[in-house]
């Protein structure tokens, strides 16, 4: 068994890098890019941890994972117990270890961050959860008595899955309603295979089914049945339908044939497996010269997918600079390594096409940064007369998503804000209607996997309190 | 889960299926559609709900074999189950008592126009229906439409049955004769809907078309189905499928329908080859 090492030695060590697929090879496949730590890597990295008390890293984690504790267990080679430690507060560590913006959360708060070499908490979390998946480690659940109360969960993204799992563990009878034919939300249809393999999402979903959660796919709440109707059948409802409506720039040429929303492009590729066409039936276009508009994770995913589909030349245009780009630093670095070109301070103004609808180019204008705006970021301003045309044959618009009104429209007395997001109590996720709770992107706008998980957990606790104190939606009046 | 209860080939390559879908049958209104998946590797394709029975929980869909997915669907039999079926999607038609209205159905559009026609008549309208197809064999649902409307006019492009000509020619005649038509529904292939909108425009009669855009999710999540209507981008699946035909950007819409033409052809040919070999 490995042991902690003396502090000075810990301090001398540098961060253990993550083995990755070679950029030249990986652009030709959809396999996962980071390969994961070996046991030796993980122990080496874990031994660096100073086991701070109190531990600032924990405060940086929205799920308040017991970080030093699980890291110590890695050093002691108690991988199963490290996993169980994480599970106490985070139900989907296989996901978070891969897609959390760690450098802005737990790792930013780590005491080593000042020296530029925070503990690789995310990589360790990933190592532990992958180990547990390979060894099929399961938590022992206390024998909670089956409860007769029924809970409906709308949406099977990370928020919905977490809430359902937690409630099922407490003994509730939970049913998830999902619009698509597959579960997982953005984890399934948005984030590509090379960042989050779908068999991992499937594994997590299967575990949740094993808890007794029922999952009804092909069910659009608001169309197949409304929230009001579900309210007559269930004792509590958790709304976690995400914020999936794609936004466009409203510039000329946006409806030309080879202009995609990132959602369409990624959904075709991930959910429908169009990258395996014609083995799978759904087609997708592979442009030669592709430009992606936007600077977030979604833009990186779209650009890297385009590359893997065979594009020769992929650009990302973003109206601010690299510093303001909301994508994870790691994802931008991955994209750069793969040969994606970034055009910062650039704003598209028009997409050009021929009479058949083919894209022939995109006109842009150069930007400069002005005074900071409400968000605190410096406002990009156009430089007059700097227009130029990029020669491209495909455009992917990744400028964000908005609330889809289908669910809200069918929910009487559940208040939304101006942008269509449900208004909730921050702590309990309770909406304005008793017995109905909401969380994840549909309450925050596009956020993160871990914040969605956090909301699911909070809502599960609040729903338990509501139901155990005698509350029942189906028996209450609107 | 979504069992095929009855199957009938009502015309060459046009198939009618009744599928068990109680939740959809309970709520559906004329003008709405479903999206289905034949199998796990399949494509999500939208099909109009041509009829429904709220009592026995069945919906009826009518489709034409035009490519891989519809060919595969045509090979399924009574008792088989679809991999996925979701709905009812889209907005229902705006049914009201307008007075005199005309419904026009071309090809499989006849199936789409049928429930709208029936409901319009039940709402008290005088409904003149015009249906048409390339040739005699392809005229579907004639008896049903006749029963559902006040008056029925039938055409075939080649004159092999009833009147020779396009539905739009008959529509023009009807509008010359009838001075008080309040609204027109025209559903069929895009060129037909476009032509019908051009016929009604000089008369200033509102004309509703149902756009068969290429879809993926059908719930407003991808934007594949977008179309320009009156200068604004709309999503057919959630803002439609019905729009005012006078305001649709037809050239753009028709371009977008051809987005995957090459790949679709490839997929269909590959399927036919495999299937042909398997069936001897
Ligand atoms: C391409 C992409 C990359 C991303 N990368 C990262 C990343 O690296 N790190 C990170 O932390 N976050 C990332 N995010 C954001 C993150 O995925 C989301 O914040 C998170 O998934 C939100 O979870 P959710 O449960 O609220 O909703 P979602 O994951 O959106 O799930 C909502 C579910 O509800 C279903 N639904 C919607 N409407 C209905 C209805 N009417 N009836 C029934 N079901 C319905 C949807 O089909 C979906 O399955 C990314 C997002 C995208 C799109
Ligand atoms: C709201 C709506 C209602 C429809 N109702 C009917 C109906 O009642 N009966 C009927 O026969 N057809 C209907 N269609 C058209 C039907 O969806 C297409 O015929 C079908 O998708 C063809 O698939 P395929 O694989 O057999 O052919 P493909 O070879 O893939 O395509 C043939 C043509 O069908 C269209 N198409 C292809 N994929 C899609 C897709 N995912 N979504 C929409 N269109 C696509 C394209 O224009 C294409 O050129 C409807 C379409 C829409 C949008
Ligand atoms: S869940 Fe995210 S923030 Fe929390 S420890 Fe894991 S990687 Fe860090
Ligand atoms: S702050 Fe860093 S070093 Fe300290 S306990 Fe957390 S991970 Fe370990
Ligand atoms: S089909 Fe995806 S938004 Fe309409």
User: Contact at 8 Å (CB) between B175 and B186?
Assistant: no
Find the chain A residues whose C-beta atoms sit closer than 8 A to any C-beta of B. Answer: 179-181, 189, 217-220, 223-225, 244-246, 248, 250, 254-258, 260-261, 263-264, 267-268, 272-273, 277-283, 285, 355-357, 404, 406
Find the chain B residues whose C-beta atoms sit closer than 8 A to any C-beta of A. Answer: 23-24, 27, 37, 41-44, 68-69, 83-89, 216-217, 219-224, 226-228, 233, 238, 249, 251-252, 255-256, 258-260, 263-264, 266-267, 270
CB half-sphere exposure, B114, CA atoms < 13 A: 24
Place A478 in a pLDDT band, splitting at 50, 70 and 90: low
* CB of residue A100 inside a 6 A radius of ligand 3: yes
If residue B129 lies in a helix (H) or strand (E), which one and from where to where? strand B126-133
Nearest beta carbon to residue A404 from set B41, B220, B259: B220
- What are the chain B neighbours of A218 within 8 Å (beta carbons)? 84-86
- What percentage of chain B exceeds 70 in pLDDT? 98
Whether residue A174 has pLDDT greater than 80 = yes
Give tens-digit pLDDT for B65-91: 999 999 999 999 999 999 999 999 999
Q: How far apart are CA A373 and CA A26, in angstroms?
A: 39
Three-state DSSP at B101 gives strand
Give the residue from chain B lying closest to A401, CA to CA.
Answer: B221
- What percentage of chain B exceeds 90 in pLDDT? 89
Instruction: Return the pLDDT at B276.
Output: 61
Q: Which atom of ligand 1 is nearest to the CA of A298?
A: 1
User: Contact at 8 Å (CB) between B248 and B209?
Assistant: yes
Nearest beta carbon to residue B270 from set A217, A246, A278: A278
Place A186 in a pLDDT band, splitting at 50, 70 and 90: very high
Give tens-digit pLDDT for A29-43: 999 999 999 999 999
Instruction: Return the pLDDT at B27.
Output: 96
Q: List CB contacts of B147: < 8 A, sequence separation 6 or more.
A: none
User: Contact at 8 Å (CB) between A361 and A392?
Assistant: yes
Mutate: best of A218, A263, A404, partner B, most B CBs <10 A: A218
Place B279 in a pLDDT band, splitting at 50, 70 and 90: very low
Find the range with the poorest average confidence among A136-140, A434-438, B125-129. Answer: A136-140
Instruction: Return the pLDDT at B40.
Output: 92
Give tens-digit pLDDT for B19-47: 999 999 999 999 999 999 999 999 999 99
Instruction: Find the mean pLDDT for residues A78-107.
Output: 92
Between B193 and B276, the more confident residue is: B193
Whether residue B223 has pLDDT greater than 60 = yes
Q: Under an 8 A CB cutoff, do A277 and B221 touch?
A: no
Q: Is pTM, for the whole model, over 0.90?
A: yes
End-to-end CA distance of chain A: 60
Three-state DSSP at B180 gives coil
Whether residue A475 has pLDDT greater than 90 = no
Whether residue A336 has pLDDT greater than 60 = yes
Instruction: Find the mean pLDDT for residues B226-252.
Output: 97
Within 10 A of A472 (CB to CB), how many other CB atoms are there?
A: 15
Helices (H) and strands (E) in chain B, counts: 9, 16
Place A477 in a pLDDT band, splitting at 50, 70 and 90: low
Whether residue B233 has pLDDT greater than 60 = yes
Q: Under an 8 A CB cutoff, do A356 and B255 touch?
A: yes
Instruction: Return the pLDDT at B105.
Output: 96
Q: How far apart are CA A219 and CA A227, in angstroms?
A: 12
Which residue, among A35, A122, A112, has the nearest Cα to A70 in the 3D structure? Answer: A122
ipTM of predicted complex? 0.94
Mutate: best of B216, B253, B273, partner A, most A CBs <10 A: B216
Give tens-digit pLDDT for A440-461: 999 999 889 999 999 999 999 9
Whether residue A6 has pLDDT greater than 90 = no
Which residue, among B206, B241, B12, has the nearest Cα to B107 in the 3D structure? Answer: B12
Q: From ligand 2's centre to the CA of B265, what distance in Å?
A: 13
Instruction: Find the mean pLDDT for residues A106-118.
Output: 94
Give tens-digit pLDDT for B248-274: 999 999 999 999 988 888 888 888 877
Q: Under an 8 A CB cutoff, do B41 and A281 touch?
A: yes
A410: left (phi over 0), alpha (psi -120 to 50) or beta: alpha
Q: List CB contacts of A283: < 8 A, sequence separation 6 or more.
A: A268, A274, A277, B43, B260, B263, B264, B267
Give tens-digit pLDDT for A360-416: 999 999 999 998 888 788 889 999 999 999 999 999 999 999 999 999 999 999 999
Instruction: Find the mean pLDDT for residues A256-265.
Output: 96
Instruction: Return the pLDDT at A77.
Output: 94
* Backbone torsions φ then ψ of B46, nearest 5 degrees: -85, 140
Q: From ligand 5's centre to the CA of B47, what distance in Å?
A: 14
Counting one residue from A and one from B, how many pairs have CB atoms under 8 Å apart?
A: 118
Instruction: Return the pLDDT at B277.
Output: 47
Q: Under an 8 A CB cutoff, do B223 and A404 touch?
A: no
Whether residue A182 has pLDDT greater than 80 = yes
Nearest beta carbon to residue B23 from set A225, A244, A406: A225
Render the burial of B17-37: b for 16+ CB within 10 Å, e for the rest: bbbbbebbbebbbbbbbbbbb
Mean pLDDT, chain A, integer: 93
HEC per residue, chain A: CCCCCCHHHHHHCCCCCCCECCHHHHCCCCCCCECCCCHHHHHHHHCCCCCCCCCHHHHHCCCCCCHHHHHHHHHCCCHHHHHHHHHCCCCCHHHHHHHCCHHHCHHHHCHHHHHCCCCCHHHHHHHHHHHHHHCCCCCCCCCCCCCCCEEEEECCCHHHHHHHHHHHHCCCEEEEECCCCCCCCHHHHCCCCCCCCHHHHHHHHHHHHHCCCEEECCCCECCCECHHHHHCCCCEEEECCCCCEECCCCCCCCCCCCEEEHHHHHHHHHHCCHHHCCCCCCCCCCCCEEEEECCCHHHHHHHHHHHHCCCCEEEEECCCCCCCCCCCHHHHHHHHHCCCEEECCEEEEEEEECCCCCEEEEEEEEEEEEEECCCCCEEEEECCCCCEEECCCEEEECCCEECCCHHHHCCCCCCECCCCCECCCCCCCECCCCCEEECCHHHHCCCCHHHHHHHHHHHHHHHHHHHHCCCCCCCCCC
Give tens-digit pLDDT for A268-301: 999 999 998 988 999 999 889 999 999 999 999 9
Nearest beta carbon to residue A283 from set B24, B220, B260: B260
User: Contact at 8 Å (CB) between A255 and A246?
Assistant: no
Q: List CB contacts of A143: < 8 A, sequence separation 6 or more.
A: none
Instruction: Return the pLDDT at A374.
Output: 82
Whether residue B280 has pLDDT greater than 70 = no
Within 10 A of A111 (CB to CB), how many other CB atoms are there?
A: 14
């Amino acid at each position: 068994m490995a042991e902690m090492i003396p502090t000075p030695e810990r301090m001398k060590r540098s961060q253990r890098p993550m083995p990755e697929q070679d950029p030249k090879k990986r652009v030709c496949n959809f396999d996962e890019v980071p390969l994961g730590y070996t046991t030796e890597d993980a122990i080496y990295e874990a031994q660096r941890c100073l086991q701070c008390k109190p531990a600032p890293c924990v405060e940086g984690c929205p799920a308040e994972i017991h970080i030093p504790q699980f890291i110590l267990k890695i050093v002691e080679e108690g991988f199963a117990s490290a996993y169980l430690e994480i599970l106490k507060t985070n139900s989907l560590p296989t996901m978070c270890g891969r897609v959390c913006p760690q450098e802005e959360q737990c790792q930013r708060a780590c005491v080593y961050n000042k020296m530029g070499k925070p503990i690789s908490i995310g990589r360790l979390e990933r190592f532990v959860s992958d180990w547990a998946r390979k060894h099929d480690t399961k938590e022992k659940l206390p024998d909670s008595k089956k409860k007769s109360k029924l809970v409906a969960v709308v949406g099977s993204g990370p928020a919905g899955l977490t809430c359902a799992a937690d409630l099922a563990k407490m003994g509730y009878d939970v049913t998830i309603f999902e619009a698509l034919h597959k579960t997982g939300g953005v984890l399934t249809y948005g984030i590509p295979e090379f960042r989050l393999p779908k068999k991992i999402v499937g594994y997590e979903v299967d575990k949740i089914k094993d808890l007794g959660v029922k999952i009804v796919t092909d069910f659009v709440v608001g169309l197949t049945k409304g929230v009001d109707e579900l309210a007559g059948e269930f004792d509590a409802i958790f709304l976690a339908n995400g914020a999936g409506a794609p936004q466009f720039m409203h510039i000329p040429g946006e409806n030309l044939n080879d202009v995609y929303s990132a959602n369409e492009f990624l959904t075709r590729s991930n959910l429908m497996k169009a990258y395996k066409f014609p083995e799978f039936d759904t087609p997708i276009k592979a442009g030669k010269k592709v430009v992606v508009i936007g600077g977030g994770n979604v833009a990186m995913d779209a650009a890297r997918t385009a590359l893997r589909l065979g594009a020769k030349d992929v650009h990302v245009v973003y109206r601010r600079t690299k510093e303001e780009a909301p994508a994870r630093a790691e994802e931008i670095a991955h994209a750069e390594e793969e040969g994606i070109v970034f055009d910062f301070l650039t704003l598209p103004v028009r997409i050009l096409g021929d009479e058949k609808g083919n894209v022939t180019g995109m006109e842009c204008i150069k930007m400069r940064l002005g005074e900071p705006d409400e968000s605190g970021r410096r406002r990009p301003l156009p430089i007059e007369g700097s227009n130029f045309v990029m020669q491209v044959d495909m455009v992917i618009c990744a400028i964000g998503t908005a609330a889809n009104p289908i669910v809200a429209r069918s929910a009487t007395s559940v208040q939304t804000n101006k942008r269509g997001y449900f208004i909730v109590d921050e702590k309990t996720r309770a909406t304005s209607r008793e017995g109905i709770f909401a969380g994840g992107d549909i309450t925050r706008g596009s956020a993160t996997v871990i914040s969605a998980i956090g909301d699911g957990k909070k809502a599960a606790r609040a729903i338990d309190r509501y139901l155990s104190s005698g509350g029942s939606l189906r028996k209450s009046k609107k | 889960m979504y069992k095929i209860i009855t199957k009938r080939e009502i015309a060459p390559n046009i198939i009618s299926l009744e599928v068990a879908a109680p939740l959809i049958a309970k709520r559906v209104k004329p003008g709405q559609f479903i999206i289905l998946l034949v199998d796990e590797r399949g494509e999500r394709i939208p099909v109009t709900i041509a009829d429904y029975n709220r009592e026995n929980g069945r919906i009826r869909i009518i489709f034409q074999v035009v490519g891989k997915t519809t060919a595969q669907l045509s090979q399924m039999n009574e008792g088989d189950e679809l991999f996925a079926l979701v709905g009812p999607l889209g907005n229902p038609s705006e049914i009201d008592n307008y007075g005199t209205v005309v419904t026009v159905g071309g090809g499989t559009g006849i199936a789409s126009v049928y429930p709208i026609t029936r409901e319009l008549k039940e709402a008290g309208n005088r409904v003149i229906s015009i249906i048409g197809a390339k040739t005699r064999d392809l005229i579907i649902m004639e008896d049903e439409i006749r029963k559902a409307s006040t008056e029925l006019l039938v055409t075939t492009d080649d004159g092999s049955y009833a009147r020779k000509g396009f539905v739009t020619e008959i529509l023009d005649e009807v509008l010359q004769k009838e001075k008080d038509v309040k609204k027109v529904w025209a559903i069929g292939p895009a060129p037909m809907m476009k032509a019908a909108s051009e016929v009604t425009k000089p008369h200033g009669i509102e004309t509703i078309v149902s756009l068969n855009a290429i879809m993926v999710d059908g719930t407003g999540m991808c934007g594949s189905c977008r179309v320009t209507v009156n200068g604004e981008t709309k999503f057919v699946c959630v803002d439609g499928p019905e729009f005012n035909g006078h305001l649709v950007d037809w050239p753009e819409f028709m371009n977008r329908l051809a987005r995957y033409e090459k790949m679709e052809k490839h997929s269909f040919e590959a399927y036919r080859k495999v299937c042909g070999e398997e069936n001897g």
